[in-house]
A and B are shown apart, each in its own frame.
Chain A
Amino acid sequence: MSILAAPQAIAEAAESAPPTRMPAAAPRAGRSRAARVRYALVVLAFLLPSAIPLALFVIGPMIAAVWISLHDWNLIAPMRFVGLDNFASLLADPATGDVFLHTVGYIIGYLPLVYVGGLLLALALNQALKGRSLWRGIYFLPVVTSWIVVALVWRWLLNPSTGIVNTALAGLGIDGPGWWTDPAWAMPSIVLASAWKDVGFVMVILLAGLQAINPDLYDAARVDGAGPWRRLWSITLPMLSPSTFFVVVISLINGFQVFDQVYAMTGGGPGGASQVVVQQIYDLTFRYGAAGEAAALSWMLFAVILAVTVVQIIGQKRWVHYV
């Protein structure tokens, strides 16, 4: 959730960097030294409660992570400088490719599912539908539920032998798959649970976007004889593109960081079939005592996320229409 407003926020900060208006209390050059010191103390009093924790627990560790990534370290013995060896051995290790592949596989399954699902629901709820806020409330329910609960509940629903889903399938004469116990079905199970949890979030974002579209556009299109499909393609989707962009950026950032539901549903198994990058960082640190490699991998993940986000921000000019 903290990542929610990041991309626009940064863009906005860049815009608002020079203070455009000086309030009455601005310190003037001519003021006495004592008054200036007093003002500086006031500024510090307001800033330090947030600046100290951010420096100590975000910025400091971020820099330290670079340092650690250059060392061989098991969290206990003294650190040994190894240069870029951690990065080299990660790149040489086929497991690294696998965890990135699994993570990308998760995203490829998850993103179309939540987007199309969320869009359908938003379109439906945007019509004059009775009890819209009730429906919206129901769809948003899983969003406020913790990932762990969602993972456990789905583990139970998708239990191969005693779960309700396979029981229902058996009732229809279908032999249900082994879900999270089957290497081929483990990731689809995680995707299903994740899409169920997040579809309401996507729907709320897209619904807000739909409601911001000027209804005159549709009237004009109707006068021109455009049918419902034409209106969807030529008006709704282009006008919705800023909201779509937001959903895609956030989903990719969160998708690359997928962890909680994997940890609770499969633990990365069976046989590493659903091992994702963050699970690998966790395991390297706390199971294999390879904190240096874990730090290196976390930087690789960060670099990938940053690159993907930057590419999207650059690429948005081609398809995102701001009014």
Chain B
Amino acid sequence: MLLHAVVIVGALAMLFPFAWTVITSITPGAGLTLRPQLWPSDPSLEAYATLFAERPFARVVLNSLGLAVATTVIQLVTSATAAYAFSRLPFRGRGVVFAIYLATMMVPLQVLIVPLFAELRAFGLLNTYLGALLPSFASAFGIFLLRQAINQVPRELDEAATLDGAGHGRIFLSIILPNIRPALATLTIFAFMGSWNSFLWPLVVLRDPELQTLPIALAGLQGQYTTAWDVVMAGSVVSVLPMLALYLIAQKHIIQGVASAGLK
């Protein structure tokens, strides 16, 4: 059938650039010869060796990993606590506060770049990991996601715990959190992915090559090795692999998280 042919041809078009990236990365001198080789005559890992020898690339990978893990943990904590307040702790003006929280999602990062840069410079936080982390300490998206999940947890569970003498801290930790694991998993993936792939803010705040993250270092590689495409593609492979691993493990969560966002 025609539609099936579309699916198959399209899938090849999706996969080919990935395959070509890997092939190029093991083709010494790719980009120097006029005719690209579909398979290298002498495949080698030379480009990877160059990559890790000439730039603090191992450090860059660790930077990205560390920042992604830290962002994820911090956002899980700040989102879960705020979501609990918005779901379970009534107070005057809560609706307004929640609307303000959500409105922050609409503000593009570009509007904040200049003042944020000036602010973090005043705090002496340029070229620090903390400076890279601070703007993503809280995520309105994460708060919204977890609040939806907490709203689904039956209130009878809280009430029973209250009768047993549990306070809000206990209810939060031992009743709410275990009951919203799937939403926590979804947020973990999105937070990690967001940090791992983020570009504009790290580009602005992390100028020191030792502190840079993968996307920034990759963009820099391209300037440095204008014709050594094997090295640039090796860098791309290294930067895609962890995300790919996470994707293969959590594919269901990721796709369902996105799909449900469009339904409503």
Contact = CB atoms under 8 A, between A and B. Distances in A.
Nearest to B168: A42
Given A4-B261, A146-B239, A138 B14 contact: yes
A121 to B, nearest CB: 6
Contact of B6 (A23, A68, A120, A257): A120
Contacts of B145: 5
Given A43-B91, A53-B138, A121 B24 contact: no
Contact of B215 (A129, A148, A208): A148
B113 A285 contact: yes
Interface string B69-105: 0000000011101101100111100111111111111
Interface in A75-132: 75, 117, 120-121, 123-125, 127, 129
B110 interface: yes
A49 B99 contact: no
Interface stretch (B42-50, B52-60, B191-199): B191-199
Main secondary structure of the interface of A (DSSP, over half): helix
A136 B243 CA distance: 17
Contacts of B254: 140, 144
Interface in A1-30: 1-6, 8-10, 13-14, 16-19, 21-27
Main secondary structure of the interface of B (DSSP, over half): helix
Contacts of B109: 257
A181 interface: no
B165 interface: no
Nearest to A193: B17
B93 to A, nearest CB: 10
Contacts of B21: 153, 156
Given A26-B90, A75-B117, A5 B106 contact: no
B114 to A, nearest CB: 5
B174 interface: no
Q: Interface size bucket, B side? A: 35 or more
B120 to A, nearest CB: 9
Given A247-B262, A285-B114, A156 B197 contact: no
A65 B105 contact: no
Contacts of A220: none
Contact of B85 (A27, A43, A117, A163): A43
Interface of B: 3-4, 6-7, 10-11, 13-15, 17-18, 20-21, 24, 31-36, 77-79, 81-82, 84-85, 88-91, 94-119, 134-135, 137-141, 143-145, 155, 158-159, 162, 167-169, 172, 190, 193-194, 196-197, 199-200, 203-204, 214-215, 218-219, 222, 229, 232-233, 236, 239-240, 243-244, 246-247, 251, 254-255, 258-264
16 contacts: A5-B141, A23-B158, A40-B91, A45-B81, A135-B11, A139-B11, A141-B247, A142-B14, A143-B258, A145-B197, A146-B197, A164-B36, A212-B263, A291-B114, A295-B115, A298-B108
Interface of A: 1-6, 8-10, 13-14, 16-19, 21-27, 40, 42-43, 45-47, 49-51, 53-54, 56-62, 64-65, 68, 75, 117, 120-121, 123-125, 127, 129, 133, 135-149, 152-157, 159, 161-164, 167, 196, 199-201, 204-209, 212, 242-243, 246-247, 257, 259-260, 263-264, 277-278, 281-282, 285-286, 291, 294-295, 298-299, 301-302, 305-306, 309
